[in-house]
Amino acid sequence: MKKLIRPSVGMRFNLKGSEFEIVFIARGVIRYASDAGGRQFRIDVDRFHLLNEDAEITLIDPHIDGQISLLLAPQQIRQKRYIDAAINELEYPTAPRLLEPLIENISQEISDPRPPSVRTVARWVQKYNENNKEIDITSLGKGNRTYRFSIEIEVLLNEAIEQVFLVTERREAKDVLAYIVGKLYENEQLSEHLSKIKIPSVRTIQRRLALIDPYDVTKSKGGKISYERKLRASGRKINSSELMSIVEIDTHRLDVLVIDKSSNEVLGRPWLTMIIEIKTRVIVGVHVGMFAPSTITVLAAFKDMLTRPNRELRGGILLLQPL
């Protein structure tokens, strides 16, 4: 049986020769971004699994276990402990009369405060055998799998999120709730005779809002350019095999003002030029001056890098002949 990749945020995969990174998962939809450029895409979880089964999706880092997230690992280990004990110690691993004392012993050994029931362990063993001796990771997730409210309330809630929350103005959960209550009264669905209608609380709406894709929130609040810039994938990493074989140069205008000592005249904000060693991410050269980024400031930063050891400063490259 082919192993099923469990998608998780941060997972990098290869699709048709292109590299992508998963950046968000919610409500059965995966949002992933291209490593080259950071363009965002969406795909259903079911479609992702189909591509995985057809070997069109492969993990870029094979050593990363994509079968189960780190948050579910302790639960997987706990489940495996009960399954192994049932299979290895019992003649009939799913027999209730044999499982009951075994569960009690295992729960004491692993200090399990809430041991599973006999029926649960029997189901785990059965699924384990059906999946060719693999844990059924699809059953490890917790939470409600059905709607907590009526269809009418769910429709209004989704409508309120679209029309009230996902707008440029700053809105909160209480604004969404006000929209729902107002619509119910407007449609005569909330009155003394219909007082049994279950309305979500502010806390429930806050939890629902927390599940919204940050991509959609940023897009609605700040526009297309803002969300493309903010949620872009990190891109390809530059690898350096040796120390000081590759360096990067970065510039930044400092948030300070330079004042002339004699006239007290404000000269402006200085520029910082830094040289960063790729392998260790250590700053090995620095230059601060009033000139905008240019070859002059870069050469000044290089001179600082090459002369640091001879000036008894940390970093830089040791030269036999000082500059």
b or e along 121-131 (b: 16 or more beta carbons within 10 Å of the residue's beta carbon)?
Answer: bbebbebbeee
Q: pLDDT digit of tens for each residue in the chain (323 aa)?
A: 445 567 777 788 888 888 888 888 876 788 888 877 677 888 888 788 788 877 788 877 654 444 444 444 567 778 888 888 888 888 888 888 899 999 999 888 888 888 899 988 988 888 877 765 555 544 544 445 455 677 778 888 888 888 888 888 878 889 988 988 888 888 777 665 545 678 888 888 888 888 787 777 877 776 666 656 555 555 455 667 777 788 899 999 998 899 988 888 888 899 999 998 888 888 888 999 998 899 999 999 999 888 887 787 776 666 555 55
The pLDDT, as a whole number, for residue 300 is: 93
pLDDT at 141: 47
Q: In the chain, what are the domain boundaries?
A: 12-68, 82-139, 151-230, 247-311
What is the strand order of the sheet 12-15 is part of? 40-44, 29-34, 18-26, 12-15, 57-59
In this structure, which amino acid lies at residue 113?
Answer: P
Cβ pair 88, 129 in contact under 8 A: no
Sheet strands (E) in 167-323: 247-253, 258-259, 266-268, 271-277, 282-289
For the chain, helix, strand, coil in percent to 5 are 40, 15, 45
State residue 16's pLDDT score.
Answer: 84
Tell me what pLDDT residue 297 has.
92
